[in-house]
Every structure is written in C-alpha cells, then in structure tokens.
C-alpha cells in the first residue's frame, strides 16, 4: 500500500459543549513518516480533538481532513484509518479473536489478517479467552490489533502504553517508530514525557483547547533554552559576575557550582580561564521534555493538586 499521500489536516477546529469551549480554533498538520506526539494537561481537549478526527464528534466550527477527506466520507474506514481511543470499549463477552473477526467482516478484511495482527501484538493464546478476563495491558494490545487490522495509512492512539509493562512499553515504542518509518501518519497522545522524548519526531501541545506548540522535540527543547551548562569553580560569584556583564544568565546551584543558560560550554570554560579560575567540572546538560512541557503548559492546567502543609517534598 502506498502511504505517501496520507496525513491529517486540522483547520480552525472548534468544539463547544454549551458554555464550555473544549477546543478553540486549533490548526495544525500531522505529517506522514513521523510520529507526532499529541500532548496537553487533563481537560486540554486532546480526546475531543481525536474524536472529531474520527467523526465521533461534530465540530462546532472548522474542519479536519484525513487523507484529504472527512472521515465520514471514507468507505471501509479500517482500511484507511486505525484508532485506539478506549481500550475498555470491546464487548466483554467476546473472545479477542472474535472481536477482531467481527471488525474484519464489517470492513471487508480477510480473516487471515486477524491472525497476523494477533501475532503482531503478542496476544497469542489469550486471543481465545473472553475479553472480560483481560488485564488492561491485554486490552490495550487488542485495541492496537484492531487499529492495525486494515493495514491503514493513518493511525491514532490515545494513551497506548496504559497498563503495559516495561517490555510492552518498549514494544509499543518500536511499533510506533516502525509504522512511521513505513511512511504512515502516526498521532499518539500520551502523558509520559519520557516516552514521547524517545518516540516522537514532532509535538503538538495544546492547553485549554488552544495550540501552545507545534514543533519538533529538539525545537521545543532549544526554543525554551532547556540546554544549559553546569560549571564548578573555586569562586563561582566571580565567574557569574563576568558572565553577567556579557548578558549571560547564571544561577547558583551549589557552594561552588553555577548553572549557565544560553551559553555553550566552550565559552564558559574560556571565561573561567581568563579569570584564572581552575575548572573542576564543566558539562552541557540536556533538560528533559517533562521540564519543557511543564513550563509550556503551566498556565493551561485546569486541575491542580496541593501538597498538605508539613508534607515532605
């Protein structure tokens, strides 16, 4: 199958529920050949946006096109778009294999494809058991199998690693990157920033229904200055004063250590050398996507927890 023409185009997408503006004029593209991470705090509008992509919710304004068409216009949709939105939605009385067979029959997919995806997701002998006895991780694998059933060009996954053990998390990471490498369009929503940092090529970050960022992982990290330098010298105040005179921001992080923002390690080392300061430690540090994400979404979080007074932090 040729996957090069696939993609998702979101333009001015808006969804209101009465007085609640769940999605607020979102515009972005999800390109083929890349894993796009779809991030945002709880209540940001991610699930609502994905439901509109699949025609499950109707936009109040704007449009979303999958492969150049509205999802409602797609015949035999599983052959074009695969999605995992709710791993608990499968009929609990059916076996995993029968659940997939029903989906195959209704979409004109050969039944031998069912056995292929069962093997691909590692369900094995569990496929003959009733779904009501499945763990959450097994239900996730079944949902992923259903998404893959039609060998689609476009795949949407909402929190696909929920319930998976460490081996399962590594497997889904490799699966997502493999699907993108085949030229497919892959959109994955997740709260696990460490996984997104390892898996995603591009990030779409929303908060309170609005677009916050649409960029590569590196662009998000670099754009926020999340790469900095740690330096340890006998007189950090002297070095901080010299760097400050050049407009470089520093922060004291220890008795003899500075954090230097927006300045490469070579320049920091040279500044210390000019001052005659021995450098005991000098290293560039990459901050995590989690820190960058929290900084970007700080004003968009709707539900805040609070640490009790006196609790350890």
Give residue-wise pLDDT tens across range 117-135: 999 999 998 999 999 999 9
Contact predicate 16/22, CB 8 Å = yes
Higher pLDDT, 295 or 168: 168
1, pLDDT greater than 50: no
Closest by Cα among 92, 81, 50 to 189: 50
Tally of CA atoms within 13 A in the half-sphere of 258 that contains its CB = 25
192, pLDDT greater than 90: no
2, pLDDT greater than 50: no
pLDDT confidence of residue 173: 94
**For the residues 22-45, what does the mean pLDDT come to?**
95
Which residues is 82 bridged to in the sheet? Answer: 155
Please report, rounded to a whole number, the percentage of residues in the chain having pLDDT higher than 70: 91
- Per-residue buried b or exposed e for 77-86, using 16+ beta carbons within 10 Å of the residue's own CB: bbbbbbbbbe
Lowest mean pLDDT among 12-21, 116-125, 302-311: 302-311
Query: Given 3-state DSSP classes, what are the helix, strand and coil percentages for the chain, each rounded to the nearest 5?
Result: 35, 25, 35
Which residues is 213 bridged to in the sheet? Answer: 205
Rg (CA), the chain: 24
Lowest mean pLDDT among 27-36, 185-194, 294-303: 294-303
Per-residue confidence band for 302, with pLDDT thresholds at 50, 70 and 90: low
Alpha carbon distance, N-terminus to C-terminus of the chain: 53
243, pLDDT greater than 60: yes
**For the residues 19-24, what does the mean pLDDT come to?**
95
Contact predicate 72/234, CB 8 Å = no
313, pLDDT greater than 50: no
pLDDT confidence of residue 291: 75
The phi, psi pair for 259, rounded to 5°, reads -105, 130
In the sheet with 34-39, reading across from the earlier edge strand, the strands are 81-84, 154-158, 185-189, 34-39, 202-207, 210-216
**For the residues 46-66, what does the mean pLDDT come to?**
95
- Per-residue buried b or exposed e for 44-66, using 16+ beta carbons within 10 Å of the residue's own CB: bbbbbbbbbbbbebebeebebbb
Contact predicate 293/234, CB 8 Å = no
pTM of the predicted protein model: 0.78
306, pLDDT greater than 60: no
Per-residue confidence band for 273, with pLDDT thresholds at 50, 70 and 90: very high
**Cα gap 6→25, rounded to integer Å:** 23
- CB under 8 Å to 47, separation ≥6 — which residues? 85, 158, 189
Q: Which residue has the tokens 């500075």?
A: 258
pLDDT confidence of residue 210: 94
């Amino acid at each position: 199958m040729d996957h090069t023409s696939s993609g998702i185009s979101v333009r001015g997408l808006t969804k209101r529920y009465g007085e609640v503006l769940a999605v607020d004029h979102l515009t972005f593209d999800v390109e083929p050949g890349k894993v796009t991470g779809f991030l945002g705090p709880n209540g940001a509008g991610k699930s609502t946006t994905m439901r509109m992509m699949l025609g499950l919710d109707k936009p109040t304004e704007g449009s979303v096109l999958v492969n150049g068409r509205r999802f409602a216009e797609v015949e035999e949709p599983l052959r074009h778009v695969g999605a995992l939105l709710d791993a608990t939605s499968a009929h609990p009385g059916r076996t995993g294999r029968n659940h997939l067979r029903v989906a195959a029959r209704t979409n004109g997919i050969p039944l031998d494809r069912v056995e292929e995806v069962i093997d691909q997701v590692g369900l094995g002998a569990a496929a003959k058991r009733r779904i009501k006895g499945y763990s959450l991780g097994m239900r996730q694998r079944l949902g992923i199998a259903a998404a893959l059933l039609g060998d689609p060009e476009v795949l949407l996954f909402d929190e696909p690693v929920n319930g998976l053990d460490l081996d399962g998390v590594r497997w889904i990471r490799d699966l997502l990157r493999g699907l993108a490498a085949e030229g497919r369009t892959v959109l994955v929503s997740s709260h696990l920033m460490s996984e997104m940092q390892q898996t995603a090529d591009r990030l779409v970050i929303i908060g309170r229904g609005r677009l916050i960022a649409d960029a590569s992982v590196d662009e998000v990290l670099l754009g926020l200055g999340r790469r900095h330098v740690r330096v340890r010298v006998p007189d950090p105040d002297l070095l901080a004063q010299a760097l400050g005179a050049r407009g470089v921001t520093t922060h004291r992080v220890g008795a003899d250590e500075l954090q230097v923002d927006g300045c490469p390690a070579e320049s920091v080392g040279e500044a210390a050398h000019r001052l005659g300061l021995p450098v005991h430690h000098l290293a560039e540090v990459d901050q995590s996507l989690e820190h960058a994400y929290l900084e970007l979404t700080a004003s968009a979080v709707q539900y805040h927890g609070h640490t009790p007074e006196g609790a350890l932090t």
